[in-house]
Amino acid sequence: MWDTIATFFTDIYDYATSLSDVYWYTFIKYFVKLCASFILTLPLALEREYYSRSLGLRTFPLVAVASCGYVLVSESFIGDNPDAKARVMQGLMTGIGFIGGGAILKQENKIMGAATAVSLWSTGTVGAAVAHNRFEIAVLIALANFVALRVLSPIKEEMDEAGLHSPDAEPPGGESDEE
């Protein structure tokens, strides 16, 4: 029994001394990046949650943080290899697209959830941009995404109510795609 207790305290001591090996500057830098990707997507997440969308307050920030995290982790072992960086981005785009695809539903002649799916996809880009120190891109994507949903959604709803977005409506000029 005393051996177990001694081992326990020895392990705690070893862990505590290993904390001195942590690169605190790097830790803080990554922490700030992960927090920034979370914060930048929070308004979008709140907007999606407010309108009771299938994905919202938890999903959007987590996708951004995970994207940022994958890029940060991959940088530690791929270095400056552009092909490897491209593969990481490809994997992120594909994976997030797969998650977003689950939000798209078809009911009768109406497709729902496409805006949420695309917003989720661009949220991943926000996280990746933050990881690559491209905060200007992250802010612009987050802002464009939020504005598109908040400003264009009411316009789309008015068009739907006015029948301007009907699947049976003919395009301007009376020409149809069907032959």
Q: How many C-beta atoms surround the C-beta of residue 2 within 10 A?
A: 6
Q: What is the pLDDT of residues 103-135, one digit of tens each?
A: 787 777 777 788 888 888 999 999 999 999 999
**pLDDT score at 131:** 95
pLDDT band, very low/low/confident/very high, at 143 (cuts 50, 70, 90): very high
For residues 44-70, average pLDDT: 86
**pLDDT score at 17:** 65
**pLDDT score at 130:** 97
**pLDDT score at 88:** 92
* C-beta of residue 46 within 8 angstroms of C-beta of residue 61: no
Bigger pLDDT: 137 vs 149: 137
pTM of the model: 0.74
Cα dihedral 78→82→85→90 (10° resolution): -150
| Model confidence at 166: pLDDT above 60 | no
**pLDDT score at 177:** 44
Please state, rounded to an integer, the average pLDDT across all residues of the chain.
Answer: 83
**pLDDT score at 43:** 92
**pLDDT score at 179:** 40
